[in-house]
Structure 1
Amino acid sequence: MSKTQENLMAAFAGESQANRKYLAYAAAADKEGLPQVAKLFRAAACAETIHAHAHLRNAGKIGNTAANLEDAVNGETYEFTKMYPEMIADAKAEGQDAIAKYFDFVNKVEEVHANLYKKAMADPKGLANVDYYVCKVCGYTHEGPCESCPVCGAGAAAFFKVDDSCCLNK
């Protein structure tokens, strides 16, 4: 990999993290009654997303949908088979039981994501037109409304319907 390719991927990672961090900061500002500061953080988060997408595109990492689905399955599978199990073990070894439990929730959700992507890979044009709902507590993703989260046990009120702007606002 060339130095420029490495730089593009490092910049992609940095911009992606900045986006999520600024959205978390915006939520904190909202809770503190500072809506204009929250708005500023959201504006910067949107700009960081534009940068991240451009870096990924310039690195040649966005393929056709079949390739993108395969990449997504591979990434999610790595996370639930290797990355999170190791993180769970580390957290337990350090006596960080709450973090280990949290990582376990995330691990289970990553497997759900992989399976949803596999379903899309099997018949992308025939994928049912359903709304997706995500648990605000653990990130569990469900086709259609959900009465309770099978991962963390949260009730129906913890779920939000995914729309085109949801990831900028959550």
Structure 2
Amino acid sequence: MSDKTEAFLHSQTRENLMRAFAGESQARNRYTIAAGVANKAGLAVIQGVFLFTAEQERVHAKQFYSCLEDCAGQTVKVDGTYPVDIYSGVLDYLRAAQHNEYQEWEHDYDHFAKTAMSEGFPLVGKLFENIARVEKTHGDRFGKFADLMEKDQLFFSEAEVTWMCLHCGWTVKATAAPAHCPVCRHPQGYFVRFELAPWS
């Protein structure tokens, strides 16, 4: 076993990677649950936002997990705190997701990156920094859709905008998304402002 591997197996970075893996995995599941709530509320566009982000969280989890290859066959014990986000309203799920993403961006991954750098694992440190930037984007995305819901502008706009049906891709320029798509007949909940697709 190399000195580098030995150092990694006794490092805080090893535990932080497992914490990050657990956190990303849980976020993926929370977002899948939130997507189901959005679907039941007839908000396919919000369901899509959650599922799109959940898939990115899966990729993050995979990247963190792959950094633990030297621990194969071992059990890594970690302590951590994880949110319990169970709500009845879609807006609450969006705001909770926004908060959690900003927590990862501003606090968790910044700290984990600095620890990895100080322990001599610059590639892991850079991974934490890069994924932290993505979490900021996630927080902004959830916040943007939450703001639209709060202002009752998810399907309405003061100025004409282009709306796109997420099911078939039909577009129209109007101040409101149609009640139903004239092509596939899916309801208004499938429409998104074109500039927000795919959830940018």
**TM-score of the alignment, normalized to the shorter chain, above 0.5:** no
Structure 1 length normalisation: TM-score? 0.42
